[in-house]
Amino acid sequence: MKKRNTTILLTSLCCMFGMSAFAAAEENTPVLTLATFISEATKNDTRFEEILIDKLPLQYRRDALLPTKDLLVSLKQEFHLFLNPLDVGGRTTVSLAQLFPDSGTQLSTAYNKPATTSGNHNASLQFLISQPIAENAYGRNYKLQDQLIGVANDIVRYQIVEAYEDYLASLTTVWYNWFSAWENLKVSRTSYQSNEKLLENILERKRQKIALPIDVNKMKLSLIRKQENIVVLQEIFDNLSNLIFSAMRLPPGQRFIPATMEINNQTIVFEEAYQRFVNDSRTYHALELLEKKSSLAVDKAADDLLPSTNLLLGYQMDAEYWGIKPQQNSFFAGISLDWPVKNSVDKAKLSIARAEKKKTVLSKQNKYEELHTNLKNIHLQIQREQELMTIAEQKIKLAESILKDETENYSFGKVSLNDYIDAVNDVDENRFSRTDHSVKLNKLLIEWHRLTDTLLDKTEGLDSKTLLE
């Protein structure tokens, strides 16, 4: 029995010293606000940089996907062997070509110089203008492709902001979980300290033959349970601390504790907020852009079905050796036509584009309904947590009042120790419940702002317009 009492005494002493160390750490450790955490994480966490890297290729997409406007220089040298009659010669061709995608017009010039041992050294210099009038008529296909690229770039920019908001929401959630773990740990330690004082009081009463041995054991068991709870909560807090410090890329040894969280009692009028979301949100703009993109794809596929038809206008000068003979100059005009008989590939592409457009329209309508339902449910959950917060505050006041009375009653022997322990535990449970509801409320509000594309507007130092540029 003596050994058991010694063990319990050592356990109590260890916890007492732990409480002192905890209090000292809490007093000297700097606090970390949510705003500071997000600011430091976005500066130091490479995940943020990884998201923004997707913006870099956008400035090159037009150059990569549209027909080039560069001047094309071509040089060709051939060697010819004629068997009948036996003759040896060659041909040198130099050409320049310039495409003007806005109109589809192509200008080219070519110098052709054959030379054979039999004496044929005539050369020619030709200027040619080619203008499409069916497929890609006056640059139509180019303009459609340019619009497609522009719409696709805008969609990617919206997706980048969405990815950043998701990242920001995840950071905020981690901080709220960290704060919740800290508050629960503080409540548990405070409760342990109160129960420790009560155990000392019961031991003194036992020495005075007032308290029974069973009361001492009950109190010791209650204290051990609270110590067990502290161990579990400490591990949760340490794990979340590691996530926080990792996101900030803190050097080893630097630590923080969460600052006091402000309870957000924001009142949201659903219909007004939802209408603003419909009118101004990036999500709705992105859905409209997706439909526009599918329509442009149909137009482009339809344009590809047209025959490749070009009006040609040229001027040619003949030459002997390297000289030009003006009297042999000539103008010419014509038309070129390439028209596949079945054109099954382009017809299939058009059918696919039309199906994709229909799917996009249906998907947009379904997304509207899904967003409305999700936001309606989140709004109901926000209202629920606001009401539960009010109830939790009321329960804490009543539980603290009951504990105060039960403390006095127990000191006069009017109630049993079980009643007193129940009153203590009731206060603890209601404090845990208040923390839980306050954190849930703030998380729901973060989710609301994330879904309505207003999270960045609620975050100091961050601007969605900058991310869209």
Q: For 397-449, give the DSSP string.
A: HHHHHHHHHHHHHHHTTSS-HHHHHHHHHHHHHHHHHHHHHHHHHHHHHHHHH
Q: How confident is the model at residue 55, as a pLDDT?
A: 79
Is residue 93 exposed (0-12), middle (13-18) or buried (19+ Cβ within 10 Å)? middle
Mean pLDDT of the chain: 83
Q: Could you give the angle at the alpha carbon of 158 between the alpha carbons of 156 and 159, nearest 5°?
A: 60
Confidence of residue 291 (pLDDT cuts 50, 70, 90): very high
Q: Is the pLDDT score of 282 beyond 50?
A: yes
Is residue 124 exposed (0-12), middle (13-18) or buried (19+ Cβ within 10 Å)? middle
Spell out the CATH class of 2-63+143-294+353-468. Answer: mainly alpha
Q: How confident is the model at residue 17, as a pLDDT?
A: 40
Q: How confident is the model at residue 216, as a pLDDT?
A: 86
The pLDDT tens digits for 404-445 are: 998 888 877 788 888 888 998 999 999 999 999 999 999 999
Give the β-pairing of 31-32 and 257-258. Answer: parallel
Q: How confident is the model at residue 24, as a pLDDT?
A: 43
Q: Which of 426, 418, 421 is nearest to 401 (CA)?
A: 426
Distance CA 266, CA 458 (A): 12
Confidence of residue 322 (pLDDT cuts 50, 70, 90): low
Confidence of residue 392 (pLDDT cuts 50, 70, 90): very high
Q: Which of 73, 132, 64 is nearest to 102 (CA)?
A: 132
Q: Which residue has the higher pLDDT, 24 or 211?
A: 211
The pLDDT tens digits for 27-69 are: 578 899 998 998 888 888 788 778 878 878 888 888 888 888 7
For the chain, the structural domain boundaries read: 2-63+143-294+353-468, 73-136+311-343
User: What are the CB-based long-range contacts (under 8 Å, 24+) for 193-197?
Assistant: 193/19, 194/424, 195/219, 195/222, 195/223, 195/226, 195/424, 196/12, 196/15, 196/16, 196/19, 196/223
Confidence of residue 117 (pLDDT cuts 50, 70, 90): low
**Whole-model pTM?**
0.78
